[in-house]
Amino acid sequence: MAAQPVSQLLRRFVRSCARGCSSVAPVTQPRPGEPSRPSTEELSTRLQFLREHAAPFSAFLTDSFGRQHSYLRISLTEKCNLRCQYCMPEEGVPLTPKADLLTTEEILTLTRLFVKEGVNKIRLTGGEPLIRPDVVNIVAQLHQLEGLRTIGVTTNGINLARLLPQLQKAGLNAINISLDTLVPAKFEFIVRRKGFHKVMEGIHKAIELGYNPVKVNCVVMRGLNEDELLDFVALTQGLPLDVRFIEYMPFDGNKWNFKKMVSYKEMLDAIQQQWPELEKVPEEESSTAKVFKIPGFQGQVSFITSMSEHFCGTCNRLRITADGNLKVCLFGNSEVSLRDHLRAGASEEKLLSIIGDAVGRKKREHAGLILVLQDSLPANPSISSWNLHCVLGLGSRVSFSTQMATLWRIPQTSLAQQWLGSGSPQRHYCSHIDTDPKCLRSGSRVPAAPSQPCSTSDQLTHVDSEGQAAMVDVGQKPDTDRVAVASAVVFLGPVAFKLVQQNQLKKGDALVVAQLAGIQAAKLTSQLIPLCHHVALNHIQVQLELDSTRHAVVIRTSCLARGPTGVEMEALTSAAVAALTLYDMCKAISRDIVVGEIKLISKTGGQRGDFHRA
């Protein structure tokens, strides 16, 4: 019987400590009439008291493996104002009817129950939680719950700068901001929306208001952003950020591919080559992150190793979806509807029993999925990274490094653009994607091969003896260096051409988007052309040049690989898709656009000899 007063006292102590000295919340002065904040010695005494007199943790939130679930994530909405490529299709996803979503009062009823049982940390998620109209009120209501030490939010940052002052006043004391690239054009490509500068503004607002650290979540995907690891790490030198690199994980609909995943050890090795003094920082037992810090840097770097080194053994997290389902594991399909029981009038005891049963069924790891990954994952040579050192733009534009220095308010780093002559009327884009570090140099080019006569076959190679379509068996062919160059021309007309030249299209930078499309298309050729072999590309180059005499964009692509089959289809597909992307970017301006002159320029390597178009 005496446990209840002690429990209440403990919660008051926890609340007093948490509200006053959270490492992720800005320090504020006490209001008039309030007692002053406890000293460090007093806090130490209180924490010692908590350890010695802590009440037993709730049996309802303890699973069969002894894991105590003190962390609750709540989805406030299924909606999102972005359309991230790895998250959802461009048209969005079917949404649950509003009547089936949790109301604000239902959210608060459930959270009161969980906090009463020992949950001391709540994170608000989505969709995008900051598009919910009453998010500030929800935070304020949660702030009133005794025993709740941390109220956090995971956001894409689009609305953060506008709402954060209100959220901080309401009681928000932890922020995670999702940001997968530092390149504005690539940001727009990934999320299919504008807003890069709004996210930057939100991060700076969080720093300005005293949040320390501000956590930045970056999902690392091979072929998309793994080349930016060092640039993200460099941000922690002058800013109080915790940059958290997250291994690419499989979710419904994101077409997860093992080859896209960059492992923790691969990322760590790349960073240590640049900063060998990188040192490990101790973390809490239930932490999902492996934390590192470079001596002298303000911020730190973390790794969320969900795939290569899962942290299931210390998992203390539960999740409630926007429609009221309880998930005990992010990877699990098993859910129980707390909403239905709540609306049916279930008592608190009944709800606790349902929650306890679900927690008790939680599996040891990843919903029973055992992931066996090698200690060192080889990089997939067919999918590599942007080389920003080879991106060329108009002299009238501000350089990328200057933009980033302004956005982040730090000295310029190695991210730099090379400029054409200041008076050049042309815009040129050249993208190199290569696994050979030598190809990161701006002067590198695909090696030229000597011209030889091209022998052709007098039979269709993709037709078998019965006249049926068939893939050619290349198993016995030797590996040789293969290079192919292809081109295409998009005739835009004077109006669309001028808008592209001046980068005034409402959809964004047509040249950058087309360049990205060409890169992606080269890597996906075997999925688009039915009888085409998959080729591990070592190098992709996509160049776009404006031809003012014809009001056209000339596209030239080259692909290089070492293998038993050629790469002309990869080069042609790259040129064609880049051209179609330009058409799509400009079709609202004119329907008279013509895509033409798609052709193979040259190919080298292979038994049939080389080919060079006259």
For residue 402, pLDDT beyond 50: no
Question: Most confidently modeled of 381-385, 399-403, 543-547?
Answer: 543-547
What residue type is assigned to position 84 of the chain? C
pLDDT score for 431: 46
Residues 6+ apart with CB under 8 A from 305: 247, 263, 264, 290, 311
pLDDT score for 86: 66
Q: Which helix (H) or strand (E) holds 274?
A: helix 264-274
d(CA 247, CA 125): 19
Least confident of 109-118, 424-433, 577-586: 424-433
- Both tokens of 581, joined, read 């992307």
Q: Which helix (H) or strand (E) holds 241?
A: strand 241-247
> pLDDT band for position 379 (50/70/90)?
very low
Largest CA distance in the chain: 95
Question: Given strand 537-547, what is the order of strands in its sheet?
Answer: 428-434, 537-547, 552-563, 480-491, 594-604, 611-612
326 beta partners: 320, 336
State the first-to-last Cα distance of the chain, in angstroms, to the nearest integer: 95
Q: What is the 3-state secondary structure (H, E, C) of 304-365?
A: ECCCCCCCHHHCCEEEECCCCEEECCCCCCCCEEHHHHHHCCCCHHHHHHHHHHHHHCCCCC
For residue 465, pLDDT beyond 90: no
For residue 100, pLDDT beyond 90: yes
For residue 219, pLDDT beyond 70: yes
- Both tokens of 331, joined, read 């990877």
pLDDT score for 388: 29
Secondary structure class of 250 (helix, strand, coil): coil
pLDDT score for 468: 63
> pLDDT band for position 436 (50/70/90)?
very low
Residues 6+ apart with CB under 8 A from 267: 220, 226, 229, 245, 303
The string of DSSP letters for 397-445 reads SPPHHHHHHHHHTS---S---EE--TT----EEEEEEESSGGGGSTT--
Mean pLDDT along residues 106-117: 96
- HSE-up of residue 338 (Cα within 13 Å, Cβ side): 33
Around Cβ 346, how many Cβ atoms within 10 Å? 15
Please provide the average confidence, as pLDDT, over all residues in the chain.
Answer: 77
**In terms of Cα–Cα distance, which of 581, 569, 589, 560 is closest to 502?**
589
Please answer whether residues 121 and 154 qualify as being in contact, where contact means their C-beta atoms are separated by less than 8 angstroms.
Answer: no
pLDDT score for 44: 57
Please answer whether residues 290 and 284 qualify as being in contact, where contact means their C-beta atoms are separated by less than 8 angstroms.
Answer: no
> pLDDT band for position 409 (50/70/90)?
very low
pLDDT score for 398: 38
pLDDT score for 252: 43
Secondary structure class of 571 (helix, strand, coil): helix
Mean pLDDT along residues 307-316: 76
**Beta-strand pair 150-155/428-434:** unpaired
d(CA 506, CA 341): 48
Name which residue leads in pLDDT, 88 or 397: 88
pLDDT score for 291: 95
- Please state, in angstroms and as integers, the Cα–Cα distance from residue 14 to each residue in 10, 21, 31, 120, 210, following that order: 6, 11, 20, 9, 22
pLDDT score for 25: 36
**In terms of Cα–Cα distance, which of 333, 262, 256, 218 is closest to 86?**
256
d(CA 184, CA 197): 8
Name which residue leads in pLDDT, 477 or 385: 477
Least confident of 521-525, 533-537, 586-590: 533-537
Please answer whether residues 294 and 233 qualify as being in contact, where contact means their C-beta atoms are separated by less than 8 angstroms.
Answer: yes
pLDDT score for 185: 87
**Beta-strand pair 428-434/71-75:** unpaired
d(CA 304, CA 2): 42
Mean pLDDT along residues 150-167: 97
pLDDT score for 364: 83
The string of DSSP letters for 22-68 reads -TTS---PPPTTSPPPPPHHHHHHHHHHHHHHPPPPPGGGB-TT--B
Please answer whether residues 413 and 404 qualify as being in contact, where contact means their C-beta atoms are separated by less than 8 angstroms.
Answer: yes
d(CA 11, CA 28): 22
Residue that is written with structure tokens 């800005």 in the block? 26
Question: Most confidently modeled of 400-409, 455-464, 578-587?
Answer: 578-587
290 beta partners: 303
Least confident of 32-41, 125-134, 197-206, 309-318: 32-41
Name which residue leads in pLDDT, 439 or 182: 182
d(CA 571, CA 602): 10
**In terms of Cα–Cα distance, which of 536, 497, 542, 537 is closest to 516?**
542
pLDDT score for 536: 84
> pLDDT band for position 314 (50/70/90)?
confident
- Please state, in angstroms and as integers, the Cα–Cα distance from residue 140 to each residue in 136, 164, 259, following that order: 6, 13, 43
pLDDT score for 70: 95
For residue 10, pLDDT beyond 70: no
Name which residue leads in pLDDT, 96 or 251: 96
* DSSP 8-state code for residue 594: E
> pLDDT band for position 82 (50/70/90)?
confident
Give alpha helix (H) positions in 135-280.
135-143, 160-170, 184-191, 196-208, 229-235, 264-274
pLDDT score for 354: 95
Please answer whether residues 105 and 332 qualify as being in contact, where contact means their C-beta atoms are separated by less than 8 angstroms.
Answer: no
Name which residue leads in pLDDT, 279 or 389: 279
> pLDDT band for position 311 (50/70/90)?
low
Name which residue leads in pLDDT, 69 or 402: 69
d(CA 359, CA 549): 69
Name which residue leads in pLDDT, 144 or 32: 144
Mean pLDDT along residues 396-402: 37
Question: Most confidently modeled of 16-20, 65-69, 104-108, 125-129?
Answer: 104-108
**In terms of Cα–Cα distance, which of 373, 431, 379 is closest to 222?**
379
Beta strands in 472-604 (DSSP E): 480-491, 537-547, 552-563, 594-604
> pLDDT band for position 191 (50/70/90)?
confident
Least confident of 133-142, 293-302, 446-455, 576-585: 446-455
pLDDT score for 306: 74
Please answer whether residues 362 and 328 qualify as being in contact, where contact means their C-beta atoms are separated by less than 8 angstroms.
Answer: yes
Q: CA geometry: angle at 102 spanning 98 and 108, to 5°?
A: 150
> pLDDT band for position 222 (50/70/90)?
confident
Active site residues: 584
pLDDT score for 21: 34
For residue 422, pLDDT beyond 70: no
Mean pLDDT along residues 134-144: 97
CB-neighbour burial class of residue 22 (10 A; exposed 0-12, middle 13-18, buried 19+): middle
Least confident of 79-88, 115-124, 442-451, 463-472: 442-451
